[in-house]
């Protein structure tokens, strides 16, 4: 028996990195999992891996910051896998720029992808969860929402918004049986991390007591905790697998 037997989960940005690790772990614990990603190949690869483990899967290509695409994606999930029990809002981007030279377009894109998407995907699953009086929503934030970082004010602001959204929604829907929480990982050894400037990454690691980026497999179990019966008394929380970068 898996911890998520009989559950239907959606993980956004699951074509690679942390989202993929979470999707595969959920499948290993018995969930059927829909993968939503901008990359058709990434979505297909993760969905195929889930299917190879004996679970139903669905690979969807979509921009989760676009209202119409989100609506279409979640309609397909409901039609092909069933009503969503678990939503993991993981999709995101990161870039670097000092505020003084940051184009407005970079600021707007960051909030659109990293914050607006959380609202849109959450709104898509809430009616069903509230009607059934059951559901888990897990939002991937960042430790930079808690401490900030030079040249990443737009990213930190968006992720701080995710934490604020999580807390407010948690209060709003708790009485309906829907538990909403966040995870704020530290630096993880993913494509997004490796795409950052070398100097930025080197400086960042001097701040992390463990002295290294985490592996996605070290963070995915936190999502499993919040998605399963083991997480039944967590509400509005932000869990911090971050190598000691922020200690709260």
Q: Is 33 left (phi over 0), alpha (psi -120 to 50) or beta?
A: beta
**What pLDDT, in 10s, does the model give residues 91-130?**
999 999 999 999 999 999 999 999 999 999 999 999 999 9
Question: What is residue 28's predicted lDDT score, i.e. its pLDDT?
Answer: 97
Position 3 scores a pLDDT of 98
At residue 1, the pLDDT reads 84
pTM over 0.75: yes
Q: Is residue 80 part of a domain?
A: yes
Catalytic residues: 155
32: which strand partners?
8
Other residues' Cβ atoms within 10 Å of the Cβ of residue 227: 27
Residue 248, in any domain of the structure: no
pLDDT the model gives residue 193: 86
pLDDT average, residue stretch 43-60: 97
Residue 77 binned pLDDT confidence (cut-offs 50, 70, 90): very high
Confidence check: pLDDT of 34 > 90: yes
- For the chain, how many structural domains are there in total? 1
Would residue 247 count as lying in a domain? no
User: Is residue 244 one of the residues assigned to a domain?
Assistant: no
Percent of the chain with pLDDT over 70: 100
Domain assignment present for 2: no
Q: Can you tell me the mean pLDDT for 222-226?
A: 98
- pLDDT above 90 (res 36): yes
Let me know if residue 3 belongs to a domain.
no
145 — pLDDT class (breaks 50, 70, 90): very high
Q: Judge whether 208 lies within some domain.
A: yes
The whole-angstrom distance between residue 176's C-alpha and the CA centroid of its chain comes to 22
User: Has residue 1 been placed in a domain?
Assistant: no
Range of the domain at 47: 8-239
* CATH number of the domain to which 148 belongs: 3.40.50.720
Per-residue pLDDT of 172-219, as tens digits, reads 999 999 999 999 999 999 988 898 889 989 999 999 999 999 999 999
125-160 burial: b if 16+ Cβ within 10 Å, else e: bbebbbeeeebbbbbbbbbbbbeebebbbbbbbbbb
């Amino acid at each position: 028996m898996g911890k998520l037997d009989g559950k239907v989960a959606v993980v956004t940005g699951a074509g690679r990195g942390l989202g993929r690790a979470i999707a595969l772990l959920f499948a290993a614990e018995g969930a059927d999992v829909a993968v939503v990603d901008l990359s058709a190949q990434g979505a297909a690869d993760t969905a195929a891996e889930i299917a190879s483990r004996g679970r139903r899967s669905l690979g969807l290509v979509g921009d989760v910051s676009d209202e119409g695409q989100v609506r279409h994606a979640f309609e397909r999930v409901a039609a092909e896998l069933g009503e969503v029990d678990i939503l993991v809002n993981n999709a995101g981007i990161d870039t670097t720029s000092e505020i003084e030279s940051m184009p407005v377009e970079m600021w707007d894109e960051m909030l659109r992808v990293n914050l607006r998407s959380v609202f849109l995907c959450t709104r898509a699953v809430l009616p069903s969860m509230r009607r059934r009086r059951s559901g888990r929503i897990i939002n991937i934030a960042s430790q930079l929402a808690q401490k900030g970082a030079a040249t990443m004010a737009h990213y930190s602001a968006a992720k701080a918004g995710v934490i604020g959204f999580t807390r407010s929604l948690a209060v709003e829907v708790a009485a309906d049986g829907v538990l909403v929480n966040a995870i704020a990982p530290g630096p993880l050894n993913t494509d997004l991390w490796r795409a950052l400037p070398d100097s930025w990454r080197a400086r960042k690691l001097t701040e992390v007591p463990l002295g290294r980026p985490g592996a996605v497999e070290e963070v995915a179990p936190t999502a499993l905790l919040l998605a399963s019966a083991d997480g039944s008394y967590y509400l509005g929380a932000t869990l911090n697998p971050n190598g000691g970068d922020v200690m709260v």
